[in-house]
Structure 1
């Protein structure tokens, strides 16, 4: 009978293998003695003598070679992902409307950093296998954002694809879990179809009975609006979608609907005392969200009657948190639509508005028509080369947009 016994050093480390052959009359005590005998004393006194016992030892030293896995390179930082070419860097700041797969491919071929799916888009862009947003992500192999206006109620695009949800005003009266869960359910549906940015929730206060606000608002009290909006936004974040708080500095008391005409708000001090208050709360809790800059004209905000989306002072206030309770904001600021709203097109044509918005502090310039993409990119690039827009302004905006994409895993 033969046995193989492992020998261990006093430090508990394996030193080799001892092979011991026992004769047919070997007593169990022999084997037992070897089990407790250190390897260096195979012939030690602890082994009982016995007749016709032949003992031989064989020591084999094993060398264990461990090959370390190759080091995993660090993930590229936001700055590393910014294009080096100036025109491509400028293009990465553009968010353009696309109606179908071919338009989306054309926009991406120009290097745009974001798409928006407007209400008039072909739903196949969201659903047709091989020709939808998810297919474009696989084809292009570079990160880009895809956004949609989806608040629930009156503003929820492509409900046949994404589903339908109650208006924000109704949601505000639900338990906290329902509010956050609704944001999550919406976010899950958006993300499944390739959308990673929701232009919601609305922070405008319904204090002037404006039709454009109404039940899109969570209410009239700034604290309650901030609470509900924060829960809804957290649900979106849970689902991997970036929320967008809108419309800074506040549309709730504007003179009209900026979709239809230029609109003026109360003076800046009045907005600071009421309309801006929800931003102080939600941006402290959600610094990775976007903020949409509205087109309202605010008396006392910088010089002249300039819509906030083209007003450097509006961006400065938001960046520095220079309003009651405000915190500095270093996330993405996106403009409201620069092509489909007369509150801006009556003031300035879209190519000029895109250029001036970026120069003023916008990180992303949004125009839903998706028209003139090469012309607009070239115009902003020329402004940088001419010194009208500092190169640092472009670099900072491009890095913020990349950081936001990284945050949602793109």
Structure 2
């Protein structure tokens, strides 16, 4: 726990530089014999004070289970909602009505990869796994298949798909397996980029996952801590698909996983809460899109050590653009924890989105 607190404090220190004070003396009047008083009317041109609560709320994407739950969280100000696998399927037919009632833009996200991770396939359609797609289709055909998937998602109000997985299989992890396009890192990147382009052609934001690579981690982050090979080895293998995919589908987003990466920062903080992971993403890969966290409540790699009120501000302080979680929570308490982190200088104000 200490390492996470230290991370937040470090982020605050980086953001705490104050502007220099102008200590130049005021000019001395050249004459005191005549004093003229002029009455003027001053019109304030200052902008209204920014609502920090509204800003941080836009950086949150909580899970929802039905229309009432989604409405309440959106009315609290969140920037998007995540349709969980246990949600009421009727919600997929109610998104347009929800948009009209809320009266402002917001994102609707889902996990839809094909194969064993395709939520509500009885409504959205059933499609082969990424492994099967790569084994039976060309890159161009996979792009067309993803466009087909994207059209179905968009028709049901979904704007963000947490897909494709571009982890490289080969580490023997069941959590990866056929969700990966290939054991060849370049093929994984090529097919992943094609899938992303197809989704985005249909008007759905694609999200590459799980940066910086889950394929050869020591375990499953759903179940507990998972440690990847050292960063130097990731550059030689697991990071290659991300480099390929970022170049070929530059408008896609990315999901940062909860893996611990030796050699990345302190080597003990999960990537999703590690400012060095976001620095690597932005500076080394020159990635300028949206960076989501992986689920901050439904995965033991985080939930074993942190509450949602601790994990969300830690992720935003580290550099995440959108904090994602699935489990039931008090969204107002999460927002308040983020506001406090901004006021304490832990989340830089420069990282907050413009609202209005």
TM-score (norm 2): 0.84
Equivalent runs, 1:231-246 vs 2, <5 Å: 231-246=194-209
**What's the CA shift for 1:227?**
1.0
Matched, 1:336 2:336: no
**What's the CA shift for 1:286?**
2.0
**What's the CA shift for 1:347?**
2.7
Counterpart of 1:298 (choices 255, 261, 278) is: 261
Matched, 1:249 2:207: no
Match of 2:149 in 1: 186
- Matched residue of 1:166: which SS? coil
Counterpart of 1:357 (choices 307, 315, 323) is: 315
- Matched residue of 1:97: which SS? strand
Matched, 1:203 2:162: no
Match of 1:177 in 2: 140
More displaced, 332-341 or 282-291?
Answer: 282-291
Counterpart of 1:282 (choices 218, 222, 245) is: 245
Q: Which runs of 5+ in 1 are unaligned?
A: 1-82, 403-410
Match of 1:105 in 2: 71
Greater relative contact order (CA < 8 Å, ≥ 6 in sequence): 2
Matched, 1:156 2:122: no
How many residues of Structure 1 are paired with residues of Structure 2 in the alignment?
307
Where has structure 1 moved over 4 Å in runs of 4 or more? Answer: none
Confirm or deny: 8 A CA contact 2:281 2:287 kept in the other structure.
yes
2-structure distance, mates of 1:297, 1:304: 6
Matched, 1:133 2:95: yes
**What's the CA shift for 1:112?**
0.3
Report the RMSD for the aligned CA atoms in angstroms.
Answer: 1.4
**What's the CA shift for 1:304?**
4.4
1-structure distance, mates of 2:139, 2:227: 35
Point out the structure with max Rg over C-alpha: 1
Match of 2:52 in 1: 86
Matched, 1:380 2:338: yes
Counterpart of 1:319 (choices 264, 282, 285) is: 282
1-structure distance, mates of 2:106, 2:243: 29
2-structure distance, mates of 1:381, 1:119: 30
Match of 2:324 in 1: 366
* Pair 1:304–1:230, CA change in 2 (3 A): closer
More displaced, 245-254 or 133-142?
Answer: 133-142
2-structure distance, mates of 1:286, 1:136: 31
TM-score (norm 1): 0.73
Q: Which runs of 5+ in 2 are unaligned?
A: 1-48
2-structure distance, mates of 1:109, 1:238: 30
Give deviations 1:32-69, integer Å, cap 9, x for gaps. Answer: xxxxxxxxxxxxxxxxxxxxxxxxxxxxxxxxxxxxxx
1-structure distance, mates of 2:226, 2:267: 14
**What's the CA shift for 1:222?**
1.1
**What's the CA shift for 1:119?**
0.5
Match of 1:218 in 2: 181
2-structure distance, mates of 1:112, 1:104: 10
Counterpart of 2:107 (choices 145, 149, 157) is: 145
**What's the CA shift for 1:141?**
2.1
- Matched residue of 2:352: which SS? helix
Match of 1:65 in 2: none
1-structure distance, mates of 2:106, 2:346: 27
Match of 1:348 in 2: 306
